[in-house]
Amino acid sequence: MPDSTLDRRRFLELGGTALVAGLAGCGASAPAEDAAASESSSPNQNQPTADAASEYTEVYRNTIDSVVLVRAGQGQGTGFAFDDSHVVTNAHVVGDASAVDVRFSEGQWSEGEVVGTDPHSDLAVVEAEDVPSPVTPLPFIEGDPVIGQEVVAIGNPYNLNGSLTSGVVSGIDRSIPSPAGYRIPDAVQTDAAVNPGNSGGPLMSLDGRVVAVINSGGGDNIAFGISAALTQRVVPSLIETGDYEHAYVGVSFVNVTPGIADANDLDEARGLLVTNVVPGGPSADVLEGSQREYAQDTPVPVGGDVLLAIEGTELATTEDLGSYLALQASPGETVEITILRDGNQRTVDLELGSRPASSTA
């Protein structure tokens, strides 16, 4: 902590300001006097002795040089080095800005150009002009995280630069809101404390690899991050072209529950029932939607196709379809979808489109 610490009242005022900025973890910029006090210290000061160090200490020491503060207008968040000149953060952190300020762990500032944003995945890339020599790209995990795996979040909550919190992976394959109104699939849930200012920072495994890019948190020990797998798919495209095209089916659907199965005379509750097909979308004239009617005094969708599998991958939940489209499919590809229509199982070919700018499109 810096010598000039925040008193309790000032800390709570700052916390209130940041919370108003939103649950998404993007904090408001600190007033000049508090920012100066915070910036006068280095997160690497007061290193613990060897006897006091822990696994968390080791991860922190190996990671902190590559974690940055990203300031855009009146808000700020966190980011980390993806390669020698590019920093990953959240799209909601940079907003509509074309340029941001980047502060490295030892206090150096650099101007940064926003080279790409993807509100669908809430990811953005900033190219920093001057990168200090200790900064190295952070590696990503291979494969999927496991529930119960220990992790640490490193970032800048409430303008407290270089803070570390610890927890475990609480869930995987979650579906969370995106700034574009769609859902972000394959997300990682954690109970590590995440607060305004942590957005865009890394959720790290204890062997020093990025598990997820933090994008939301702040309540009831539940926080979320964009998975390493989705991040590694989106970010290279943001660097190369400035955007990323997501595969799009153009339907609305719900999980088939026992009640829906009963209303539709289905033998079992499985798959996804198509409730609506977007006119002119990729599924128009390929898939059929349902009509919302009353059954047993409860409004449930009746009729329409039931999606059972895509390219042989079973669709047990809505997350299954979202993860397949996000991680394995691309616009323009033709995929084989197994459906149940009028009690008969069949396959149809569907050419995937590109997702519209917002979910209302």
Virtual torsion, Cα 33, 38, 41, 47, nearest 10 deg: 160
Residue 18's nearest CA partner among 220, 213, 195, 217 is 195
Rounded CA-CA distance 3/252 in Å is 55
Give yes or no for a contact between 188 and 171, defined as CB atoms under 8 angstroms apart.
Answer: yes
Distance from C-alpha of 321 to C-alpha of 79, rounded to nearest angstrom: 29
Q: Which residues does the annotation mark as catalytic?
A: 92, 122, 199
Spell out where 59-201 has E strands: 67-72, 75-81, 86-89, 99-103, 109-118, 123-128, 150-155, 163-177, 183-190
Q: Which residues pair with 344 in a beta bridge?
A: 341
CB 187 within 8 A of CB 222: no
CA distance 74 to 78: 14
